[in-house]
Amino acid sequence: MNKKHQLIVFLLFAAAVQIIVAVQFFKRNYEEEKQFFSIMKNKAVESFESGNYNAAINLYTVLIDKDEELPDYFLKRGVSYQMLGIADSAMHDFDQLIELQPESEKGYYLKGNLYSIQKNYPEAVTNLKKAISINSGDAGYHYALGVALFKWGKKPESESHFVKAHEMNPDIKEINTYLGIIAYEKGDKKKAEEYLSLNPDSEESVKYLGLIKSGK
C-alpha cells in the first residue's frame, strides 16, 4: 500500500472515529434531555395535583417550550391559570388545546365553564353544547350546561340537562337544588320539596324550603 492509500485509509478511519464520538455524544445528550423532561413532567403533575398552581404554570411553560406532548400541558396550565383567577391566560391555553385537538371535549368544556363563571352565558352554552356533541355521556357536561342555561334564564331547557346529569350521576347533590327551584317556579311545591330535601345544606335549598313551609 503506497503512502497515498495509507493517507486515505487514515483519513477514513479518523472520520469514522469522529462520527462514532459524535453519535455517542448526541446519544448521551438525548438520554440526559429525555431524563430531564421525565423529571419535569413528574414535578409538573405533582405540583398540579397538590394545588401548587404557580409552580405548575412555570413547569408546564418549560415543557410547552421544549417538549412535544402539548395538549395535556395546555390543559393543565390553563386550569392552573383559572384556579389563580388569571382568566385570559386560561382561555388562551384552552384555545390552544382545541387548536391542537379540534375534537377535544375537555377543551370546549373548560372554555364553557370559564365563560359561565364570567357570566357570559351565550358563549358558555355554545361551548358546552359542543363538548356534549363530542361526548354526550358525561354527567358533568350536562350539569354545567344546565347551570349555564338556568343562570341565563332558560330554565325549561336547563331542566332536561339536569335530569340527564342526575340519571348519569345521582351523587351530584346540587342538581336537586336546581330541579327543586324549577319545580317550585312551576307551582309544583310537593315535587320541589322532594328535590330540595335531597340537598338540605344548600343555601338556596334552605331558602326555598322556607318559602314552601311558610305557604308561599
pTM of the prediction?
Answer: 0.80
What's residue 69's pLDDT?
Answer: 61
Determine, yes or no, domain membership for 163. Answer: no
Determine, yes or no, domain membership for 86. Answer: yes
What's residue 214's pLDDT?
Answer: 86
Determine, yes or no, domain membership for 118. Answer: no
Determine, yes or no, domain membership for 183. Answer: no
Determine, yes or no, domain membership for 74. Answer: yes
Determine, yes or no, domain membership for 61. Answer: yes
Q: Which domain CATH number covers 84?
A: 1.25.40
In this prediction, the residues of the chain whose per-residue pLDDT falls under 70 are 1-34, 67-69
Q: What angle do the packed helices 139-151 and 155-168 form, to 10 degrees?
A: 160
Torsion of CA 76, 101, 99, 88, to 10 degrees: -20
What's residue 181's pLDDT?
Answer: 95
What's residue 22's pLDDT?
Answer: 42
